[in-house]
Structure 1
Amino acid sequence: MAAWLLVAGLSTTAFAQSDPSMSTSITIGTGGVTGVYYPAGGAICRLVNRTRSEHGVRCAVRATGGTVVNLTALQTGELELGLAQSDWQHHAYLGTSESFVHEESGADLRSVFSLHSESFTVLARADAGITKLDDLKGKRVNVGSPGSGQYATMQVLMEAKGWELDDFREARTFGPVEQASALCDNRIDATVYTVGHPSGVVQEATTTCDVRIVEVDDEQVRSLVEERSYYRFSTIPAGMYKGNQGEVNSFGVVATLVTHSGVPDQVIYALVKAVFTNLDTFKGLHPAFAELTPEAMVREALTAPLHPGARQFYEEKGLIRPEEG
């Protein structure tokens, strides 16, 4: 599938200096085409592009390796916007991870809004003897592709557990597209995936072969959540996937839309207005968006300061007070 996708959409802008005759192109870095980030980026672009004649902003999405790739591309100016897990937005902005240790940290990163919750999800073959997190040791485990949020978060979890990659019989680095087939073809015993639910990858795996969602809830996980503000306890609803009738406890993060300070205010204003004035439409574009509220989207899980264009719209609508900007 092509790495680029143009999707049709909607927005207006109150910035008088925005000239619809002057076209501006923006690209949103997402994730693999089977994940939630890719359709999330497409949904945003659809709303922006529907009234491009009013503000001159053309929006496209790019399939990428995920969170860490997107944040790195934002810092180099390769992307105008990117979707990222809240934990790695935190690390990128503050420079508190080996992946983001640099002289100026991520000082130019700016928040736009947050989206859906994402659970750290462990899928295991039913015949692999994996019923709890510790059972992954000695098994063939996919830890995610380098540059993805799932890979980075798995490294954090492994550190908390005192694990090394050598503790697994095999450690594989499949991306989201390959995970389900790798499980069902018996090339791996389990895979980890940080994703919003319902997920197409999880749906594919659980309907193609006998796969269980494993609880991620022990002393080390609880300590992680309690010590780090960007993590939260989460649950994967009962009955969402074939063969998994009970609610599954885990921990998770929040998907966030991030930009950088070099993107013009009127461009971000147009994008934000497109989404927030058509929020019901946006929520209907993917089941993971169903519980979104404007209040949570402008306040939760955002470490980097709001981009001025986003802040302008939120102040106008009374979602934040000027002093909060």
Structure 2
Amino acid sequence: MAHWPGPWRREEMGWIFPRRATGALIGVLTVASLLTSACANNAADNDGDLGKLSQMTMATGSTGGTYFPLGGGIAQLWSNEIKGLRVTTQATGASVENLRLLKSGEVELVMSTNGVGTMALAGDGEFKGEKHDFVALGNIYPEVLQIVATEKSGIKTVEDMKGKRVALGPPGSGTEVTAKQVLGHYGLDPENDVKPFSDTFADAATKLQDGAIDAAFTVLSLPAAAILDVATSSKIRIVEITGPNLDKLLKEDPSFSTLEIPANTYPGQAKAAQTVTNWATLYGLPGLDEEQVYQLVKVLYEKGSGIEHSVAEQITLDTALEGLGETKLHPGAERYFKEKGALD
């Protein structure tokens, strides 16, 4: 019997390892096995049946936004209410990054605006050349287009913005995309017919107060704290989205829905204002277990309004399916909505 150098030796057709070496090798092999399995799962077809899971991860947004704290509250609610399931959250750059994480199989659930979801499924815009396959579980809350103009600017309609100084949102943002869509549908070239500013709303709010700009496009939940701050110190007007141009916008982009901003949402806003909204929507992998998704959706719409967050009361069955367009529902979500009469 030959002896091999080092702590290992081969005996006939097998290997004999000292105890410490055995433990170390088993650890290495276990890690390698887990990594191989994880890679295989991520590379697998997300349409495959994932079976009943004991843990899910939901991608949310940045720690300073709405998605992260609200998503944390939703995840905690699910973990408390659904037996055998623990849901955790992951901070991200929000919608675009989230859908790419879902595509890779790194997470099971994501929060995203429905407009970005529609774009991803179509392989347009930020997702040009990419192929995405995911399903909707329902809307969470409205992300409302709120066009704020100073009263002294004289802006009462979108058309009145011609020649005015207008903040369109940060470059590449959903706000900028929406602003350009709306201006275009009202016959205004966003580069030539207005004086465009590429500001975050925090910066735009300061400029509105200082009189450095005349109006700003924002996509925010209701009520928006930043707009409240501006309205407290300055006289503002919420510019409405109405008329035939609105009808054309809704027809061309089904991710939009109409929404009325109630009177007195902001100081000095005596009348309700009509606008459009995208939705913060919950998406998931197609292969998630039907019964688990049914429970996720049931808990979200029956108990979600009790989450301690300012927009939680806007989680409602009445608007759960608005603006989803051609996006497929997960069978578990579809079953719940049919039971509740929200879907034929």
Deviation of 1:123 after TM superposition, in Å, equals: 0.7
Measured against aligned partners, the alpha-carbon deviations of 1:220-272 in whole angstroms (never above 9, x if no partner) come to 23321244433233221111110111111222333311233466767755643
The 8 Å contact of residues 69 and 147 in structure 1, kept in 2 or not, is answered as no
Alpha carbons of 1:103 and 1:204: their partners in 2 closer, same or farther (altered >3 Å)? same
The 8 Å contact of residues 111 and 258 in structure 1, kept in 2 or not, is answered as yes
The 8 Å contact of residues 140 and 171 in structure 1, kept in 2 or not, is answered as yes
The 8 Å contact of residues 238 and 246 in structure 1, kept in 2 or not, is answered as yes
Deviation of 1:58 after TM superposition, in Å, equals: 3.5
Which residue matches 1:300? 322
Deviation of 1:173 after TM superposition, in Å, equals: 3.4
Indicate which of 112, 117, 126 corresponds to 1:99.
126
Indicate which of 80, 85, 91 corresponds to 1:62.
91
Aligned equivalents of 2:305, 2:312: Cα separation in 1 = 13
Give the partner amino acid of 1:86.
Answer: N
Give the partner amino acid of 1:98.
Answer: G
Give the partner amino acid of 2:103.
Answer: Q
Which residue matches 1:90? 118
Indicate which of 262, 283, 286 corresponds to 2:310.
286
Measured against aligned partners, the alpha-carbon deviations of 1:53-85 in whole angstroms (never above 9, x if no partner) come to x43424225263x54454344435565433333
Give the partner amino acid of 2:60.
Answer: G
Alpha carbons of 1:214 and 1:278: their partners in 2 closer, same or farther (altered >3 Å)? same
Which residue matches 1:244? 269
Q: Percent identity?
A: 25
Q: Which runs of 5+ in 1 are unaligned?
A: 1-14
Q: TM-score, normalised by structure 1?
A: 0.73
Aligned equivalents of 2:53, 2:228: Cα separation in 1 = 43
Equivalent position SS for 2:339: coil
Give the partner amino acid of 1:169.
Answer: K
Which residue matches 2:73? 43
Aligned equivalents of 1:127, 1:238: Cα separation in 2 = 20
Give the partner amino acid of 2:74.
Answer: I
The 8 Å contact of residues 232 and 251 in structure 1, kept in 2 or not, is answered as yes
Alpha carbons of 1:210 and 1:301: their partners in 2 closer, same or farther (altered >3 Å)? same
Measured against aligned partners, the alpha-carbon deviations of 1:152-189 in whole angstroms (never above 9, x if no partner) come to 22232233334132333232131x44443342244432
Indicate which of 64, 78, 87 corresponds to 1:33.
64
The 8 Å contact of residues 27 and 80 in structure 1, kept in 2 or not, is answered as yes
Which residue matches 1:5? none
Aligned equivalents of 1:103, 1:33: Cα separation in 2 = 29
Q: TM-score, normalised by structure 2?
A: 0.70
Indicate which of 218, 223, 227 corresponds to 1:193.
218
Aligned equivalents of 1:147, 1:28: Cα separation in 2 = 21
The 8 Å contact of residues 306 and 312 in structure 2, kept in 1 or not, is answered as no
Give the partner amino acid of 2:88.
Answer: C
Alpha carbons of 1:320 and 1:18: their partners in 2 closer, same or farther (altered >3 Å)? farther
Q: Which runs of 5+ in 2 are unaligned?
A: 1-49
Alpha carbons of 1:43 and 1:182: their partners in 2 closer, same or farther (altered >3 Å)? farther
Aligned equivalents of 2:184, 2:111: Cα separation in 1 = 25
The 8 Å contact of residues 120 and 127 in structure 2, kept in 1 or not, is answered as yes
> Superposed, which structure 2 residues align to 1:253-264 within 5 Å?
253-261=278-286
Aligned equivalents of 1:187, 1:262: Cα separation in 2 = 51
Measured against aligned partners, the alpha-carbon deviations of 1:74-120 in whole angstroms (never above 9, x if no partner) come to 4355654333333332222123x33333253x2x2221111333432
Aligned equivalents of 2:302, 2:257: Cα separation in 1 = 29
The 8 Å contact of residues 114 and 280 in structure 2, kept in 1 or not, is answered as yes
The 8 Å contact of residues 263 and 271 in structure 2, kept in 1 or not, is answered as yes
The 8 Å contact of residues 57 and 267 in structure 1, kept in 2 or not, is answered as no
The 8 Å contact of residues 168 and 196 in structure 2, kept in 1 or not, is answered as no
The 8 Å contact of residues 305 and 313 in structure 2, kept in 1 or not, is answered as no
Alpha carbons of 1:37 and 1:155: their partners in 2 closer, same or farther (altered >3 Å)? farther
Aligned equivalents of 2:255, 2:116: Cα separation in 1 = 9
Give the partner amino acid of 2:327.
Answer: A
> Superposed, which structure 2 residues align to 1:205-284 within 5 Å?
205-261=230-286, 268=293, 271-282=296-307
